[in-house]
Amino acid sequence: MRRHLSPSLAALMSAATTLVPEAHAQTATGADTESLVSYRFNEYDEDAFAPRPVIGSAERYGVISQQFQLATPVGTDAALSASATHEVMSGSSPWYVVQGPNHQPIQVMSGATIRDHRSAVSASWTQGTGSSGGTTYSASYSAERDYHATAVGIERSIPLSAALTLGVGGSFSHDLIDPVDAQLYDRVQHGQKNTASLFGSLAWIIDRSSVLQTGIQINSEHGFLSDPYKLVTVGDGTIHDLRPGQRDQMAWLVRYRHAFSRPDASLHLDFRYAQDSWGVTSQTLEAAWYQPLPARWQLVPALRYYSQHEARFYAPFFSDPAAHNFFTSDYRLGTFGAFSASLNLRKRLGQWEFSGGFERYHGATDYALGGSDAAVPAVVSYTRAFIGLDYLLK
Amino acid sequence: MNSAHERRLIHRFDFNAMGCPCALQLEADAEVAARAAAAAQAEVDRLDRKYSHYRDDSLVAQIGASADAGESIVVDTETADLLDFSATLHAQSGGRFDITSGALTRLWDLKNGRIPDAAAIERARARCGWDRVEWKRPHLRLGVKGMRLDLGGVVKEYAADRAAQVCRDVGIVHGIVDLGGDLTVVGAHPDGSPWLAGIKSPRDTSRAFAQIELHAGGLATSGDYERAVIVDGRRYSHIVDPASGIPVESFSSVSVVADSCLVAGAASTLGMLLGLRAGHDWLLGLGLPFLCIDADGNASGTLAGARDEGRGTRDE
């Protein structure tokens, strides 16, 4: 039903949304009647290495990011969203691993404290927000001193019946890598990477209080996929991190949402399984509880577990270069597991919404499903906190 | 007729609820249809029990008792949503739609055929007024002893939407819910064709005044042809303007089509409350398809072209 949406009708439909959400899914998204301006301040801090042995700075990475976002309906049948992000990163990052006494792996950190900025803009346009399904077109650009990424995407939702919705989409990203101090450290001077993604999902409204969604995503990366800043110990010396020029990943996800009337709350359960052509497999399980409280407060405690199995060419150090084609000691490709707990709080006050949150993420090699493999001395733990302010324009 | 085969699969369930004849028409396997019908009927009965102002054990009665005791009451989420919705209608209608005007409505029931005098109207008005209600979700306090809530203007339409959703939850894809003329489509016919809804003729309620095609959403009709009373040759509707305390001179019926029966019902009720000229203009500005029929049987509104006097009330 396409028509002019008068202010009176918008008011009626908006008021009816909570009572008959199915009929007013269009207004339930909020995109149709309200514009939103939001600001987020986010701080991310990786734990220092101590008491683990380390060569170089024990301090690790920290990121402070700020994001502005604007979302607004355009006419009665479209919505525009745009965001700008600025990040300041500083600290040392893991460089390579050496063998200490008793063959114990010791992490070597990058010598200089890195200080870098990243700026990113993104925009998306959704056409058709009603019950006949919609199409979202998106584009983004991100720039750092040594890294430029451009991405475009398209996503379409197709209602198959009153209870079943099919989602399909795809995206493409083109990234340019121009490492700093390339000549000084004999790094590759220029690299590029292309990533294509396809996904499909089915969302099934089981009954009035539960929704189940399942989906498959396929990613394919080509080009320079190594980390130009990392080295690998091979025998008595070091070489540059060297990975295959292609990586294909397949991920399967399941999401379940259940709304309870007593207490008035909802449970979100998410599971994701991924595996790729490098031999990396991962499982993520997340549970979140959305609890509305009196006076328009909302509390969201969440728990997440992540487990990853290492890439075939991961090792903290290699003794025999002839036995391998590819080499990495990047902790992000090792075997580890992590538990994360977070607590987010929101408070609506008229047209303002305040939010804040805190996350503690703890990683360890022996948290991995099936136990640890090769040592990962740089496995990360971090603390993250954010505050945000939203303004809703009716 | 290529849809003859599908039509044989339509299962019809008639029942009485909320003081009116109701019907479910579901196109599905007999077993699924029966299960859906039972669930939908149970949902309508639940809402009837909860919000009836005729029952002593209803929530509305409890709220009335709290008013008499001068206390506030904490209401559940569904009721709070209905109150929020009613508050929106109150604001959108400039105070004419008022769920606390039950005392006035009852005064003009005119079961005894006598027009109330000015003193009785004033007494009733003193017990009405959403402005006197303290509503701070989920805390409700009716400000005046003797004040009563009348959610009749929204509950039937809401019940039609809920019944349709219950049918969908059970697995019904094609069907329509009819609660005394307030309709919600569960889903169009299997071949994608719409349901045809008949709007009763104000003069002869056994005949359809107009046929309206419904693919989805809801159709609601507010009218006084069932409850209007003629006293001393003057026609009094059951729709009372809370500002003046006397019935509104308005249409015989107003029908509106919307994404939900709830919104359609809100629009048709407000169109009716605003009276002949203002109601028509307000509906035109609102932008939903509508049909107004005046006491002389003249049709106006964007659906007026759908008029078809020659056909029966039901297409099936």
Q: What is the 3-state secondary structure (H, E, C) of chain B?
A: CCCHHHHCCEEEEEEEECCEEEEEEEECCHHHHHHHHHHHHHHHHHHHHHHCCCCCCCHHHHHHHHHHCCCCEECCHHHHHHHHHHHHHHHHCCCCCCCCCHHHHHHCCCCCCCCCCHHHHHHHHHCCCHHHCEEECCEEECCCCCCCCCCHHHHHHHHHHHHHHHHHHHCCCEEEEEECCEEEEEECCCCCCCEEEEEECCCCCCEEEEEEEECCCEEEEEECCCCCEEECCEEECCCECCCCCCECCCCCEEEEEECCHHHHHHHHHHHHHCCHHHHHHHHHHHCCCEEEECCCCCEECCCHHHECCCCECECC
User: Which chain B residues are within 8 Å of A1, Cβ to Cβ?
Assistant: 216-217, 259
Lookup: tokens for A291: 């609890």
How much is the ipTM here? 0.82
Question: pLDDT at position A26, please?
Answer: 44
CB within 8 Å: A3 and B286: no
Give the mean model confidence (pLDDT) for residues B21-42. Answer: 91
Q: How far is A19 from chain B (nearest CA, A)?
A: 6
- Identify the three-state secondary structure at position A40: strand
Residue A256 and residue A212 in contact, taking contact as beta carbons nearer than 8 Å: yes
pLDDT tens, chain A, 394 aa long: 334 467 788 888 888 888 887 776 544 333 345 788 999 999 999 999 877 888 888 889 899 999 999 998 887 678 899 999 999 999 888 999 988 888 889 999 886 666 789 999 999 998 875 556 789 999 999 999 999 999 999 999 887 775 788 999 999 999 999 988 888 888 888 999 999 999 999 988 776 567 889 999 999 999 999 999 999 999 888 999 999 999 999 999 999 988 776 676 889 999 999 999 999 999 999 999 988 887 778 899 999 999 999 999 999 999 888 888 999 999 999 999 999 999 999 998 878 889 999 999 999 999 999 988 899 999 999 999 999 999 988 6
Any chain B CB within 8 A of the CB of A4? Answer: yes
Lookup: tokens for B68: 């008499």
Question: pLDDT at position B185, please?
Answer: 95
Angle between helices B261-273 and A7-16 (to 10 degrees): 130
Instruction: Please choose, from the candidates B69, B67, B47, B50, the residue with its C-alpha nearest in 3D space to the C-alpha of residue B58.
Output: B50
pLDDT at B219 over 60: yes
Give the mean model confidence (pLDDT) for residues B214-240. Answer: 74
Residue A168 and residue A215 in contact, taking contact as beta carbons nearer than 8 Å: no
Lookup: tokens for A290: 């959305």
Which member of B82, B171, B259 has the closest CB to residue A19?
Answer: B82
| Angle at alpha carbon of residue B31, lines to B25 and B36, rounded to 5° | 50
CB-CB neighbours of B56 under 10 Å: 9
Question: pLDDT at position A64, please?
Answer: 96
**B-chain residue closest to A211, CA distance:** B169
CB-CB neighbours of A198 under 10 Å: 13
Any chain B CB within 8 A of the CB of A3? Answer: yes
**Distance (Å, whole) CA A316 – CA B55:** 76
Question: pLDDT at position A276, please?
Answer: 97
Residue A137 and residue A106 in contact, taking contact as beta carbons nearer than 8 Å: no
Least confident piece of the model among A78-82, B67-71, B84-88: B67-71
Least confident piece of the model among A30-34, A191-195, B110-114, B129-133: A30-34
Q: How far is B220 from chain A (nearest CA, A)?
A: 14
**Distance (Å, whole) CA A220 – CA A360:** 31
Any chain B CB within 8 A of the CB of A11? Answer: yes
pLDDT at B199 over 70: yes
**Distance (Å, whole) CA A32 – CA B312:** 39
pLDDT at B1 over 50: no
**φ, ψ of residue A26 in degrees (nearest 5):** -60, -45
Question: pLDDT at position A297, please?
Answer: 87
Question: pLDDT at position A24, please?
Answer: 64
Question: pLDDT at position B205, please?
Answer: 63
Pairing of strands B182-187, B73-74: unpaired
pLDDT at B311 over 50: no
DSSP class per residue in A134-176: -EEEEEEEEEESSEEEEEEEEEEEEE-SSSEEEEEEEEEEEEE
Selected for mutation to probe chain A from B99, B184, B213, B263 (highest A CB count within 10 Å) is B263
Judged on CB neighbours under 10 Å (0-12, 13-18, 19+), B289 is: buried
Residue A82 and residue A72 in contact, taking contact as beta carbons nearer than 8 Å: no
pLDDT at B316 over 70: no
Q: How far is A256 from chain B (nearest CA, A)?
A: 17
Q: How far is A8 from chain B (nearest CA, A)?
A: 6
| Distance from the first to the final alpha carbon of chain B | 13
CB-CB neighbours of A136 under 10 Å: 18
Instruction: Sheet containing B139-141: give its strands across.
Output: B73-74, B139-141, B134-136
Residue A6 and residue B287 in contact, taking contact as beta carbons nearer than 8 Å: yes
| Distance from the first to the final alpha carbon of chain A | 22
Residue B264 and residue B257 in contact, taking contact as beta carbons nearer than 8 Å: yes
What lies within 8 Å, CB to CB, of A306 at 6+ separation is: A282, A283, A284, A337, A338, A340
User: Which chain A residues are within 8 Å of B216, Cβ to Cβ?
Assistant: 1, 131
Question: pLDDT at position A202, please?
Answer: 92
**Distance (Å, whole) CA A375 – CA A315:** 7
Selected for mutation to probe chain A from B26, B74, B85 (highest A CB count within 10 Å) is B85
At position A280, the amino acid (one-letter code) is V
- The 10s digit of each residue's pLDDT in B139-177 is 999 888 888 888 877 999 999 999 999 999 888 989 999
Percentage above 90 pLDDT, chain B: 27
Selected for mutation to probe chain B from A3, A9, A210 (highest B CB count within 10 Å) is A9
The CA-based dihedral angle spanning residues B260, B262, B263, B265, taken in that order and rounded to the nearest 10 degrees: 120
Q: What is the mean pLDDT of chain B?
A: 82
Instruction: Please name the helix (run of DSSP H) or strand (run of DSSP E) that holds residue A318, with its range, or none.
Output: none
Any chain A CB within 8 A of the CB of B213? Answer: no
Least confident piece of the model among B155-159, B192-196, B253-257: B192-196
